[in-house]
Structure 1
Amino acid sequence: MVDVSRTFTVRRPLDEVVAYLRDFANAVDWDPGTQKCERIGADPVALGTRWHNESKLFGISTELVYELTVDEPDHLKFTGTNKTASTFDDLTFGRGDGDSTIITYHAHVEFNGAAKLADPVAQLAFNRLADSVPKQMTTVLEKR
């Protein structure tokens, strides 16, 4: 199991931040590992919307299908699955000073079967990756 969390502030209003992050296809901009992320279907983004995600982390490529499983004004959760793992990208939001937003990014990965043996190494790798999310997400959001 991998579990990482980072809290940081961006200089953008909460409503704008949530609206942008609610479309997981935007992960190609803010998630350092995401190579490609496309919505499945043409319906507007809503609870149950799914995305096909292709990521590459430390030389290992993987594909997952993510689903928007929590869709609230101050909380978004995306649940990703494939045969090797289940992953949860959980984003909570609070109002900061002025037009700023406090974001808590929490990523949790549960490996299946023999992949569980990778837990200790994966935790170290995800710690490094999670360190880059606040900077990349802040840069993307503040340019909007």
Structure 2
Amino acid sequence: AIYERLFCWIVTHINDVIEVKNYDTTIHGKNTVIGVLDIYGFEIFDNNSFEQFCINYCNEKLQQLFIQLVLKQEQEEYQREGIPWKHIDYFNNQIIVDLVEQQHKGIIAILDDACMNVGKVTDEMFLEALNNKLGKHAHFSSRK
């Protein structure tokens, strides 16, 4: 509760400070906003559940959307319009998203294959399938 109240106070204070009085979007275009995104990266626990996998996957997808919409497209727009700016280097996590969701080769596809054989595939067999298909991927690591 205290974090939420502090966060809301900060956002409200920033909005009050940056608000342009009498701003007309028909003349000046869209309003300017500041977005706050603090979810990047995988949480790593000794034992993760499927729920944690889904949370991490969603976080990576949201981070990729942020990279695409805010970093990549804005920098491309600055270049097109000849606006001086300082290039921002960033890790494009599309490779991580692909590791999870790529058809026929990603973690979800491998899990889907395992689920088609309920009762026949063990955790060890699933792990072996992951290691066989993804073992050489630069961003895949296994405890095996």
Class of the TM-score when normalised by the shorter of the 2 chains? under 0.3
Q: Would you tell me which structure has more helix in proportion to its own residues?
A: 2
Structure having greater relative contact order (Cα 8 Å, sep ≥ 6)? 1
Per the normalisation by structure 2, the TM-score is 0.21
Per the normalisation by structure 1, the TM-score is 0.21
Q: Would you tell me which structure has more strand in proportion to its own residues?
A: 1
**Rg larger in 1 or in 2?**
2
